[in-house]
Chain A
């Protein structure tokens, strides 16, 4: 765990102590980093350098920023603990990192793709090993995109926003009845 200073304080954390340190950072009265600004990941062009998962934390009361970096060797299993338990804002931020880099977050309630469609099979786009135009041919990408049914993958939370119980298509209503993933406030 080194501390480096490049304009802003950066702390490198070992992967297995991440959750403990994050909890300490959030809860200790002197630290109180109550605002998770961003979670992102970096893969350097120099393939020798490890991947980094970067957390930007901010303390609103103390007006301080800190960056936490977790280094992951690309030969290791790409997984870290999720900080969703501490900051719920990490929900979509970690989903984006998962979608773009393939880094799984253990303990995340709903880890699925967010920017690409859910059945996207070409890999993880922001990895350096991923070619710019994707792995499949354009016609195959168009075919997969057209056949990916967007509505099939809405979670129940997302549907509850519409609050259109009677107007839902039958399969959605069936999933609702079966109580799939999440609670809908006004369902019968």
Chain B
């Protein structure tokens, strides 16, 4: 995909055919390498972690998609797969692990609990890890089937292949935590954490 007009200055030349072709070639090479060897950091907390393990095992095997080595150190990981519900107590931990990952990094939120809090709409659970880390792909399911997770991984591949090294926008939208320690404005967090669907009616505590 060409990025005409959104390239950085190269020796004062305006983008031309050869330059675009070169950039496309570089992008293709870089993005394919990144997409085809995404090393996952499995941040498995609960039931979705079992499905993650099932996806890693022989029947569904995401090693054939390049995720051969599960990096248990964030320093060596490309994609953080948060599989399972996240209690508030674990929130600073996942934020720190995400911060420790070197660029380029992506996040897959696996399962309903990581995406929105799932069935745990209560005092203890984070209502979606996107209030804490920037998420690229949400995989719904409780738990998602291994095929579902693989589809999410393939979506991430597509997203990666659509990126470009020559974008003017800095990579990986890293909204740093603001002075209050939040990555989104509080109104946004409240809005996305609001109950929806059936759980709107289930807030009696007595």
B190 with A133: CB separation less than 8 A: no
A134 with B122: CB separation less than 8 A: yes
Given the interface contacts A130-B123, A133-B121, does A142 sit within 8 Å of B203 by beta carbon? Answer: no
Report how far A140 CA is from B91 CA in the complex, Å: 13
Q: Does B182 contact A (CB under 8 A)?
A: yes
B123 with A138: CB separation less than 8 A: no
Q: Interface SS of chain B: helix, strand, loop or mixed? A: loop
Please tell me which stretch of B124-132, B139-147, B168-176 contacts chain A, meaning at least 4 of its Cβ atoms lie within 8 angstroms of it. B124-132
B124 with A125: CB separation less than 8 A: yes
B89 with A142: CB separation less than 8 A: no
Q: Does B12 contact A (CB under 8 A)?
A: no
B190 with A150: CB separation less than 8 A: no
Contact for A141 among B88, B92, B195, CB less than 8 A = B88
Q: Interface SS of chain A: helix, strand, loop or mixed? A: loop
Contact for A125 among B121, B123, B186, B187, CB less than 8 A = B123
Q: Which residues of B are found within 8 Å of A137, using beta-carbon distances?
A: 186, 190
Report how far A146 CA is from B88 CA in the complex, Å: 8
Report how far A65 CA is from B204 CA in the complex, Å: 35
Report how far A159 CA is from B29 CA in the complex, Å: 46
Given the interface contacts A125-B124, A132-B205, A138-B127, does A146 sit within 8 Å of B190 by beta carbon? Answer: no
Report how far A3 CA is from B186 CA in the complex, Å: 54
Number of A-B contacts (CB under 8 A): 83
Q: Which residue of A lies closest to B204 (CB)?
A: A132
The tally of residues in A whose CB lies under 8 Å from a CB in B reads 27
Q: Which residues of B are found within 8 Å of A4, using beta-carbon distances?
A: none
A146 with B122: CB separation less than 8 A: no
What distance in Å separates the Cβ of A88 from its nearest Cβ neighbour in chain B?
25
Listed residue (A117, A122, A142) with the most chain B CB atoms within 10 angstroms of its CB: A142
Q: Does A149 contact B (CB under 8 A)?
A: yes
Report how far A58 CA is from B110 CA in the complex, Å: 42
A139 with B186: CB separation less than 8 A: yes
Q: Which residues of A are found within 8 Å of B2, using beta-carbon distances?
A: none
Q: Which residue of A lies closest to B95 (CB)?
A: A146
Report how far A16 CA is from B32 CA in the complex, Å: 72
Report how far A122 CA is from B122 CA in the complex, Å: 13
Report how far A133 CA is from B202 CA in the complex, Å: 11
Given the interface contacts A125-B124, A132-B122, does A139 sit within 8 Å of B182 by beta carbon? Answer: yes
Q: Does B37 contact A (CB under 8 A)?
A: no
What distance in Å separates the Cβ of B192 from its nearest Cβ neighbour in chain A?
8
Contact for B91 among A125, A130, A133, A142, CB less than 8 A = A142
B182 with A146: CB separation less than 8 A: yes
Interface residues of B in 71-85 (CB under 8 A from A): none
A146 with B91: CB separation less than 8 A: yes
Q: Which residue of A lies closest to B193 (CB)?
A: A138
Report how far A137 CA is from B191 CA in the complex, Å: 10
Q: Does A147 contact B (CB under 8 A)?
A: yes
Q: Does B93 contact A (CB under 8 A)?
A: yes
Q: Which 3 A-B pairs have the closest CB atoms?
A: A139-B186, A134-B123, A138-B193
**8 pairs across A/B with beta carbons < 8 Å?**
A45-B206, A131-B203, A133-B121, A138-B127, A139-B187, A140-B186, A145-B126, A146-B177
Known: A132-B122, A138-B131, A141-B123. 14 other contacts (CB 8 A): A117-B88, A122-B123, A125-B124, A131-B203, A137-B190, A138-B193, A142-B88, A142-B132, A143-B186, A146-B91, A146-B132, A148-B89, A150-B89, A150-B92
